[in-house]
Amino acid sequence: MNSLQSQSSPKSDVSDKQTLLAVLQFLKKNNLKCTEELLKKEAGVTDDDVKPQSAGQSESDVANALAAYKSSDDPTRYTDYYTDLKTFIESCLDVHKVELYLILYPVFVHMYLELVYNQHERHAMEFFHKFSGEQEYYYQDDLRQLSSVTKREHMRGNQLMDNFKASRFIIKMSRDSYNHLKRYLQENQMKPLLTIIQEHLFIDVFDGVPRNKQQITATGGGLLGEAERDANKAKVFYGLLKEPDINIPVDDDDEAPEGEDKPKKKKAKKDPLLMRKSKNDPHAPQSNRIPLPELKDQDKLEKINSFREAIKRVRIGPDQMPTVCFYSITNAHQGVTTVNVCEDSSLMSAGFADSTIRVFTLTPNKLRGMKSGDDLEIIDKDSGARNDLVRHSKTMTHSKLEKSQAESKGMASLFTKTKSVLADKVTNAETLFSYFVAEHNLSFAVTDHFTKLCKLMFSDSEIASGYSCGKTKTTQIVKRALSVENNKVVVENKPRFFVLSKLAKTLLVLPNSNADSERAFSLVKKIATELRADLNKDTLCALLSCKMNTHLHCYELKPSAVLLKNAKSATMEYNNSLK
């Protein structure tokens, strides 16, 4: 047992010191002064021992660490050594075979690294591809990382390599299985295999029955093998730190009677809860182990309030049952949809069906209302409110908001633009053409084509280049501007307006029995004659086709057959809709 396991030696002490100095160099490089001083104090290292290393020294340290893989053995023999070891394990009894299989993975890894370090890349790749698939499934992720290390240069700075260099692979094995392995190694004298086991493996031998496959799988799969036997012997400080000392003022009893007959107050007993918290927990770490920041005033106030509530709380028991408090919202008319209470039960919010939210206070203290703009203007500048405003104006939050407001555009700029002479001319042109489209009853789709045509015909004109009155804009101009003005003109011309409404009413209420072509046209003509209305033939034709979606142009007083047919259909549809 002692011949296979590596013991502590001066060489390991030197390695530990080099590791400690490397950590100190790292802390100094990253300006972690407090941690560096604590580590120096605990390790007993002086400033003279820590000296900055040059790049050449750092590379030499890496080379010295990797020199453990230096070997002059025949690279072709590594495959034979591993195969012989595997054959020996398979020839053992089943009770020992399961435990001896644990040695195959670390031996495989370190043999591969020795081949790579000694620049036997071809033999290393053959060795890896031949035996990597035989390893346990829980090592496959590590093997994929190991496959990227194919040259000596790849071994520097590799995380997997650093883990294998820093620690030895731990294997737990029963004494009987260990004796079988020891006897095999002594009889065959395999130098590379012996070197790997002595320098890179730690076999933790225990007395007892060998473990089975299920027990080994439950604890296997670690990067560096299994956990050490004394891994859980380190003391863990799982206790809570001592609560900071806070002076809690005692509240006077406001409800006590005043006067000469006022009874004397008894000395208040200390709460056992507070007494228990003030004691030191033996399982808690030292308060100066990790210095905690000092409590802010707001944190102290919250702790004081929590302590006061703990003192005033009622001890619940069979004699003192908890009290339930119900709240009712009156005159809600079943409009309350949700209710929520804050953590300290001081506020309650209610949501209503009309999308309103109301906040109620559950304490005697009333809610504070927000000041209006007029109230803010009459604030005394010499009072404390002025000082609060001044302090707020000096904060970073106010500066950011002021800068953001200065850079952002006003709300009005999103809807209006600064007018100029050219913009007025463009607007005038767009309005005139929109009026032309409405007056001649043209399709609004014409405006999209006219905008493009206008820019082509008058390419040198600034008004044409700024002209952009499409279908949507024309519709808005006609509906919101021109229609209002046209209504005024129609109302002012009352006789003509009255004739048009009379004709439209007569035509639309015409019964189905009289809705023939000649009858409809004769009625329209008769009404126009009786009222002595100066209506031209285009007006009469437009009136007869008021229910149609097409534009008809009649050049004779007597309407065409198509016009009368459409007018008759429109009249029948209107009468059917009335029914």
**Cross-strand pairs, 205:** 173
Q: How many residues does the chain have?
A: 579
- Please tell me the distance from the alpha carbon of residue 563 to that of residue 553, in angstroms, as a whole number: 10
For the chain, the straight-line distance linking the first and the last C-alpha, in angstroms and rounded, comes to 111
pLDDT at 540 over 60: no
- Please tell me the distance from the alpha carbon of residue 455 to that of residue 264, in angstroms, as a whole number: 99
pLDDT band at 408 (very low <50, low <70, confident <90, very high): low
Please indicate whether residue 441 or residue 145 has the higher confidence score (pLDDT): 145
Q: Give the DSSP H/E element, type plus range, for residue 206.
A: strand 201-206
- Please tell me the distance from the alpha carbon of residue 264 to that of residue 256, in angstroms, as a whole number: 10
- Please tell me the distance from the alpha carbon of residue 361 to that of residue 345, in angstroms, as a whole number: 9
537: tokens are 């033939």
- Please tell me the distance from the alpha carbon of residue 384 to that of residue 493, in angstroms, as a whole number: 69
- Please tell me the distance from the alpha carbon of residue 390 to that of residue 285, in angstroms, as a whole number: 45
pLDDT band at 367 (very low <50, low <70, confident <90, very high): confident
What mean pLDDT value characterizes the chain? Answer: 72
Mean pLDDT of 503-522: 54
Instruction: Decide: pTM greater than 0.95.
Output: no
- Given this model, what pLDDT does residue 12 score? 46
pLDDT at 72 over 80: no
pLDDT band at 348 (very low <50, low <70, confident <90, very high): very high
277: tokens are 């918290």
Pick from 200, 208, 206: nearest CA to 230: 206
Spatial CB neighbours of 139, under 8 Å, sequence gap ≥ 6 = 105, 221
- Please tell me the distance from the alpha carbon of residue 497 to that of residue 488, in angstroms, as a whole number: 11
- Please tell me the distance from the alpha carbon of residue 143 to that of residue 105, in angstroms, as a whole number: 10
What does residue 174 show for φ and ψ, rounded to 5 degrees? Answer: -70, 160
Pick from 207, 216, 159: nearest CA to 179: 207
- What's the one-letter identity of residue 293? P
Contact 13, 25 (CB under 8 A): no
Question: Could you tell me which CATH class the domain 68-231 is placed in?
Answer: mainly alpha
CA distances from 47 to 27, 43, 272 (A): 13, 12, 51
Q: Are strands 357-361 and 169-174 parallel, antiparallel or unpaired?
A: unpaired
- Given this model, what pLDDT does residue 425 score? 84
Q: What is the SS3 assignment for 122? A: helix
Vertex 125: Cα angle to 81 and 115 (nearest 5): 55
286-321 pLDDT tens trace: 777 777 788 888 888 888 888 888 887 778 888 888
Domain regions of the chain by residue span? 68-231, 333-363, 421-491, 493-578
Spatial CB neighbours of 351, under 8 Å, sequence gap ≥ 6 = 336, 337, 338, 339, 357
Vertex 123: Cα angle to 119 and 124 (nearest 5): 70
Please indicate whether residue 202 or residue 18 has the higher confidence score (pLDDT): 202
Spatial CB neighbours of 322, under 8 Å, sequence gap ≥ 6 = 316
DSSP state of 225: B
Longest Cα–Cα distance in the chain: 138
Pick from 191, 226, 194: nearest CA to 6: 194
